[in-house]
Structure 1
Amino acid sequence: MKRVLVILFLSFATLYLRAQTANQRYQQLGNNYVLIKNYYLLNLLQNYPAASKLVSGDPILTKLAQAKMKTVQDSLKANKGFMSITRSLKFSAAEIKTAGARLVSLYKPNNVLGVLVTKHLIPSGFYIQYDNLSNVKLLVKAWEQDAHAINHTIEIYADGKKPGFPDIDSINFNIYSKTYSKAITDGANDIVKRYGATRLFFLPSVSYALHSLDINGRNDAGNDEPMQLNANKAAYNRIKTIDWKKYMYTLILIPGEGPDRPGVSISPGSIARCKIAAIKFKEGVAPFVMASGGKVHPFKTNFSEAEQMKKYLMNQLGIPENAILIEPQARHTTTNLRNCARLIFRYGMPFNKPFIVSTNKIQSYYISYMQKRCEADLGYVPYTLGRRLSNTEQEIMPNIASLQINPLEPLDP
């Protein structure tokens, strides 16, 4: 019995250690943030020269690429409607299986794919839910996730399938219009023109997924990126100077509330939340506030909740720019908290220190009971609840699981 307990303890200890291998110092490769955030393995296989060379030089994967391009060309010649074209650009179950099996065959712990896993996939944290697997199995899971994510993106933003939140995330076109059919066909013809001779088996499909997002004006995942060089530059540079022992919390998070009417830049709800957070910030419990919220409400708004709240915090409440971080991608309360945890990690802030969510009373108590919603939408809870500080402030501890890519939300993966 004692031996069994020791084995179990060692097994759990291994899982725990593997789960801690995401590295706050890791630097992502590439500069296309929509690609990086949605399909990071494929971004690496495209932008990491040694990996590209290995994959493009493999005869089986090259054959897969050539067969894919022929399927796309045949669908264009057949002229049987846009659904036939988009179907040819998605990965079939057989293609996913073949490519996965070939990656297993090519993988060696000390070759470029082994390095790709140990030096990039694991420390990035993008596939952290697979960290308990062997390295080669993690590689395959990452491939399968990216392939299914590409199919999902094409289904929503080319086929016109309803997304999980159709009121804010739907396609931008009438799929029965001639304009739309032409956009689909032109995109596929462009893929053939640019990648007809490619030896990278995934490139036509991932490029078409990105095209689908682009024609819909749905490159939200790249909003303000790289943020540490743009909207967050002043605050990001100040992070390095902070003596964290002086503060109880890393930051005060303000979840945004979108306006109901087109043309309105900031809602009364967001203004009220900024005022509540500003009072707490001026008590000196945290060195930063973080305004969180993307271009969400109303449908296809041009105004980012986070950007507008930052302006209000600076211009109306006197909070200095170097004390304000923004997170301009979140589309739901669940991802306000998840994305906050991500930026705390990516920006090298103490991950073992709590932050405060400061909002109105209704949302604050909703967050206290939001675990089931998180599990349904994300597959995990991106935080641990701490103390309730008031009717409008809840203490939160970030969860490392927040780094995991969500393949079902291409606007905020």
Structure 2
Amino acid sequence: MKRNTLLYLLSVILLPLQTLSQSPDPAYKLIFGKTTEDIVVAKNYYLLSLFHNIPEVSKILSEDTTLMRIAKAKTDHLASSLNNCKDFRCYTTKMKFSEDEIFAIGERLFKLYKPGNALGRLVKEHLLRSGAYYIYQHSSPDSLLVKAWQQDARGVNFAIGVYAEGDKARYPNIDSIGYNTQSKRYPDLVNVVTNTVREECKNAALFFEPSLTYALRFIEINERLNAADYEPMTEKENAAAFKKVASVKWSNYKYRTIMVPGAGPDIAGVALSGEGMLRCRVAAYRYKEGLAPFIIVSGGKVHPYKTKYCEATEMKRYLMEAMMIPESAIIIEPHARHTTTNMRNSVRLIFRYHIPFDKPCIASTDKFQSIYITTVLDDRCKKELNELPYRQGDRLSETESVFYPSLEALQINPYEIMDP
């Protein structure tokens, strides 16, 4: 075994050579890019987004011969499959990163990394400060870079698996592929997508671009670009509340926020469920009692399948119109698809919006979901998110419980593409 490969294995898999101690920085602003797709990429695969958006990093990667060979193999497959493939998996399988490719690319990144070069600065100034790969915080810097790559690569593979090949999504009733992969015409659609990506990636300079673009085309045609909805929120739906944060006298409040999980209707065409209205009403009472200066309403475009209504925006509308809550007191979180990410995403906003962290917040909902949050949700978060984005506090009533934010919430999860 080559010495570099041995060092790579020891650093990435066994013993990090140096422990990282830098904490995420709430002042760090995520680099989203300009287009809807840019935002989707940044939120799901932040390292790949940084590879693309930081010119000094792009230069290192685009000039590496090993990485160039991997990119060429992908673009060659795009061209040859148009004539040689009949079964749709013949097109899609090789556009995923194989485990051998993931390993080889990781090894190259490990070797290319130097503390003072562009990759070293990327780790220090972006990966660590953003917290986007927080669960790898105790790795050495070069190992963190590799682990972030591995996560992104497997996330791209997951997207191709679900939205090109029809693999099972985490929540299949709401997030599954929109096409019948058993249809005789489906290979024709995959052929068209493949040809489109071939055109887009003719001059691809970065090793990951063909596979990432392939995943994005299938996410797009399945109408699953929801991760970009309402972004940048501090300039749109949350502008008034974000501005208010700086002027809040926090000593006047026992809690920092009141988080309300959404409850999507099961009937097409219904904007807000009865449960959602009732949850908002109870939270509004807590706000008017002066318990916290902000209500966070959390929930994306979830129920029913491919609904056009967003739980968070509809709850905000209800709070303003029915309960007379000022817009500056309402923060929307419009992406969550389950109670796990209602909690996680709300914690992220608390951190990013400079609301005092590690202070108590309230989860306000109906009696039955409140019991679920305080008895079951911890285990589900650990299982599905590989993290616990909060710490449980006291139970206040049948409908309210206390939670404390945790930095683990910043960790990206690319296995929920609309809510990573």
Tell me the TM-score normalized by structure 1: 0.94
Gap regions ≥5 residues in structure 1: 1-13
Cα deviation digits, residues 274-326 of structure 1 (max 9, x gap): 11000000011111101100111111111111010000000110001111000
Deviation of 1:137 (Å):
0.1
Does 2:384 align with 1:382? no
1:196 and 2:202 correspond: yes
- 1:291 maps to 2:290: no
User: Which residue of the partner structure matches residue 25 of structure 2?
Assistant: 23
Is the 2:259–2:346 Cα contact (8 Å) retained in structure 1? yes
Q: Count the aligned residue pairs.
A: 398
Question: Partner residue of 1:309?
Answer: 315
CA distance in 2, matches of 1:168, 1:395: 29
Which string of whole-angstrom CA distances, capped at 9 and with x for unpartnered residues, describes residues 147-174 of structure 1?
Answer: 0000001000110111121111111111
Percent identity of equivalent pairs: 47
How many Å separate the matches in 1 of 2:246 and 2:184? 54
Quote the residue 2:252 is aligned against: 246
Q: Which deviates more from structure 2 when the two are superposed, residues 339-348 or residues 379-388?
A: 379-388
| CA distance, structure 1, for counterparts of residue 121 and residue 307 of structure 2 | 42
In structure 2, the partner of 1:140 is 146
Return the alpha-carbon distance in structure 2 between the equivalents of residues 191 and 207 of structure 1: 6
Q: Find out whether 1:334 has 2:340 as its counterpart.
A: yes
What do you get for the CA RMSD once the two structures are aligned?
Answer: 1.3
Say if 2:40 and 2:228, in contact at 8 Å, map to a contact too: yes
Most deviating of 103-112 and 173-182: 173-182
Task: Name the residue aligned to 2:77.
Answer: 71
- Distance in 1, matches of 2:75 and 2:112, equals 23
Q: CA offset at residue 94 of structure 1?
A: 1.5
Q: Could you tell me which residue of structure 2 aligns to residue 393 of structure 1?
A: 400
Which one-letter code corresponds to 1:213 in the other structure?
I
Deviations 1:204-246 (A, max 9, x none): 1111111111100011111111111111111111111112222
Structure-1 residue corresponding to 2:235: 229
Is the partner of 2:363 in helix, strand or coil? strand
Task: Kindly state the Cα deviation for residue 114 of structure 1 after the two structures are TM-superposed.
Answer: 0.1
CA–CA separation in structure 2 for the residues paired with 1:189 and 1:232: 40
Offset at 1:81?
Answer: 2.0
Say whether 1:87 aligns with 2:88: no
Aligned match of 2:417: 410
Q: Alignment partner of 1:207: what SS? A: helix
What residue in structure 1 maps to residue 179 of structure 2? 173
> 369-378 or 256-265, which moves further after superposition?
369-378
Q: Which moved more, 1:76-85 or 1:145-154?
A: 76-85
Secondary structure of the structure 1 residue equivalent to 2:91: helix
Equivalent residues of 2:86, 2:187 under 8 A apart = no
- 1:206 maps to 2:212: yes
In the alignment, which residue of structure 2 is the partner of 1:4? Answer: none
Q: Using the alignment, how far apart are the partners of 2:223 and 2:133 within structure 1?
A: 27
* TM-score normalised by L of structure 2: 0.92
